[in-house]
Amino acid sequence: MISSGWDALKFWGEGAVRVEPLAGGVANDVWRVTIDGSLAVGRLGTRSDADLSWEAELLLFLDREGIAVPVPIPASDGRLFVNGLMVMKYLEGGPPEKKTDWHRVAETLRRVHNLTQGWSQRPGWRSSTDFISLEEGTKVDLRTMPSEGVARCRAAWSQLVGRPTCVVHGNPNNPANILMTADRVALIDWDESHVDVPDLDLVLPYNAAKLDDVQFDVAAQAFAAWEAAVCWDDDYAKRRLAAVRAV
């Protein structure tokens, strides 16, 4: 019998229970759950199996390499997700607050970038520089944007052409996506992760990645263009496009 929605939680055993919804889910329904009494996080969405396989493989790899991430917890039959539901390890911690915290975040991101050079692209996704010539892919559809805005975004991305690529988290400057303790930095919410130029991950508070003025400007323009294109056309996307300089 094919289960649907949260019915799939039963594949984690009779002791799997939904407890309460967690804030922050936009594309997914995210809940705190318990598996045989232990806390975990359940995330239900509409991603394809290929997409979820890519993410699960990435998280397991990063965990093996010592990066703190929400590792998928296998269902009773060994599957890492069932009908769009992934259950992951619950991580403790709080958001970065001080400059020194953000420096630790930058160091962790650099490790992710170094570890994932040559990683295959997330199924169906495209990198920022791909959209210099392409019009659509995954969440991006440049045909819906004003032509003048598209030209500005492409001009920003053109500054990244030829740079090495790796897995980028996609939204690490959001403090809610980081859970810190005294001895580790955990990166959560890998929904926007894909292969791209690492600069997109390094537009951090306090310029924590220590980019020079030119590097930071190029990265900030490219990231603003990316966020505008991915979110178009809500109010946030329009504000981000306004931050991208005219050609």
pLDDT in tens, 168-216: 999 999 999 999 999 999 999 999 999 999 999 999 999 999 999 999 9
Beta-bridge partner residues of 94: 180
How far apart CA 28 and CA 42 sit, in angstroms, is 10
Alpha-carbon span 244 to 223, nearest angstrom: 9
Q: Three-state SS across 7-53?
A: HHHHHHCCCEEEEEECCCCCCCEEEEEEECCEEEEEEECCCCHHHHH
Record the tokens describing residue 145, joined without a space: 């944007």
Per residue in 34-80, pLDDT tens?
999 999 999 999 999 999 999 999 999 999 999 999 999 999 999 99
Ordered structural domains, the chain, with CATH: 5-89 (3.30.200.20), 99-242 (3.90.1200.10)
